[in-house]
Chains A and B, each alone.
Chain A
């Protein structure tokens, strides 16, 4: 920084002007707007239908447990959680392994077609998955995977973003010479990958794995098409049906929605720094 810039910087640093106060009010107001819908959701999930119908509730009520029992009678939301957890968890684990394997293949092996195939991956990032839904349905049906959670798990491996990001990470953190010296020491190619590359790539795997997990967890359209049986439904499908299922039983509906949202709020409260760091990391490199 030049001296001029430093002076200017210092001269304005000691006082808080009226502009700053207005700015604070604006920023805090915006923060309130971001959280308010979730606040109403939590508050309403603790009131009975009568209280919700009578007007605005600002403080928690006493009917949380009663609402939970009413909600549970109609929708097996914990089953939905298990389904979602199974799909997103297993899918992310498989992606972490095979996606990194692919990224490593592109990063360290000079085979013919390396660049062309990597270009295919880049292009596929631009295709919205919604476009092929009818064909996807047909493929899943031909593979006899309709009403099977594996129809959602296996495709998670083909995450172009994951491969792209982890490949860039390996390019910059794993020197060719380390791979070569491991070879000289007699390590096999798979041995090098499992024992050396996976640990080195783990920060990028964690970042991209997390976003793929969240993305998979939030999916609605594809699971709706593949899972036509209620006991297989994931959380988003169950919640999307809430309006039809609960109709005027608002308190139970609020409870169902709250149960689907609160775990994410808690996870965000714990990991927010890490999550936002991941968003930025992805954007700067991408």
Chain B
């Protein structure tokens, strides 16, 4: 290894020069902000004009008080988890089933490319636009969803979706499932296509039925892709913001039951200008995500062994 290093030594300097701009910008705009957030979590800071004042653990005390008394931070953790789980389970199950169907060579589905494209479409559209659109489609008494359900005789009278806690939560989750199942499906399809054909053949020769082939060939082979998807979905899901924020017009209504952790950070920081406390909430969220990802990885790896 060292020989290789010295061989190109006179050019090594250029390597540093080429990666320098990237690392300068990454340090300023990604790494430093996280450290700065950590520092600010020990201060009181009202924003622009006044400098931050060191207050030690005050914000963290408030954070733990909030958790023990069942305040909005605790509520936002619960909400985020509910919204994420109600979205991720149907999303993954649906995506996996569709991926298997669309890669199965024994059925004669035409236009697979078309289906793949249209299922992916919602994922490309600006989340803010989608949430704004659904805030009107779910409107009361004359949103298109109500109109449609009335016309199909599923409802007898209009239903005020966005004033009911679970209707709003399930709306957020359903929108997220709708936005992401196509993406997840494409990833799973790519994973299935990468499985060596011999494995399926062996299963066929052994007389395995479709379910057995899925259970003992497809699923184990998808494990690493699955792990990656679960981890990125946890990270993205726990930092959920756009859809619930815009759908509820920033209120987390009804009764803050749809307020997510990042919405709470935004509201504390940039509506109430408690930037110190908002930083403590952000660090809380950071620790939360870190622990959950570690547990998820451990759980998945143990199952593998």
Contact = CB atoms under 8 A, between A and B. Distances in A.
Interface in A259-281: 260-261, 264-265, 268, 272-273, 275-276, 279-280
B229 to A, nearest CB: 9
B34 A131 contact: yes
Interface string B280-303: 001001100100010000000000
Contact of A130 (B118, B205, B262): B262
B105 A9 contact: yes
Nearest to A236: B128
B73 interface: no
Contacts, number: 300
B: interface residue count bin? 35 or more
A257 B117 CA distance: 22
A1 B201 contact: yes
A111 B262 contact: no
Interface in A41-73: 41, 44, 52-56
Contacts of A283: 186-187, 190-191, 225
A42 to B, nearest CB: 11
A124 B247 CA distance: 30
Interface string A223-250: 0110000000001110110111000001
B204 interface: yes
A34 B122 contact: yes
B164 interface: no
* Residue among A31, A99, A136, A283 with the highest chain B CB neighbour number at 10 A: A283
A2 B115 CA distance: 30
A155 interface: yes
Given A114-B15, A250-B139, A130 B36 contact: no
A214 interface: yes
Given A117-B23, A135-B279, A244-B249, A220 B30 contact: no
A24 to B, nearest CB: 7
11 contacts: A1-B197, A24-B109, A35-B118, A37-B130, A38-B125, A128-B238, A134-B33, A214-B124, A243-B249, A244-B249, A286-B228
Interface string A148-184: 0000001101101001000000000000000000000
B275 interface: yes
Interface of B: 4-5, 7-8, 11-19, 21-23, 25-26, 28-40, 48, 98, 101, 105-109, 113-122, 124-137, 139, 142, 144, 147-148, 151, 178, 182-183, 186-187, 189-191, 194, 197, 201, 204-205, 225, 228, 231, 235-236, 238-239, 241-242, 245-246, 249, 262, 265-266, 269-270, 275, 278-279, 282, 285-286, 289, 293
Contact of B282 (A101, A131, A237): A131
Given A102-B22, A110-B5, A253-B136, A31 B108 contact: no
Contact of B275 (A54, A110, A134, A244): A134
Interface centre among A1, A134, A221, A260 (most CB of B within 10 A): A134
Contacts of A253: 132, 136
Contact of B186 (A9, A128, A261, A280): A280
B107 A23 contact: yes
B147 A136 contact: no
Contacts of A235: 126, 129
Contacts of B194: 284
Q: Which 10 residue pairs are nearest across A and B when measured between Cβ atoms? A: A109-B15, A105-B18, A135-B33, A135-B36, A132-B33, A56-B147, A135-B37, A155-B29, A111-B12, A236-B128
A239 B12 contact: no
Contacts of A38: 125, 133
Given A132-B282, A240-B132, A98 B265 contact: no
Contacts of B118: 31, 34-35
Contacts of A131: 34, 37, 239, 282, 285-286, 289
Interface in A4-23: 4-5, 8-9, 12-13, 16, 19-20, 23
Contacts of A104: 18
A134 B142 CA distance: 39
Given A133-B269, A283-B187, A109 B11 contact: yes
Given A38-B125, A136-B33, A240-B245, 16 more contacts: A35-B118, A35-B121, A41-B137, A55-B151, A110-B4, A127-B30, A127-B34, A131-B282, A132-B33, A135-B37, A139-B28, A155-B25, A157-B22, A236-B129, A239-B129, A239-B246
A259 B128 CA distance: 13
Contact of B205 (A2, A114, A264): A2
Nearest to B112: A27
Contact of A98 (B7, B22, B133): B22
Contact of B30 (A5, A101, A155): A155
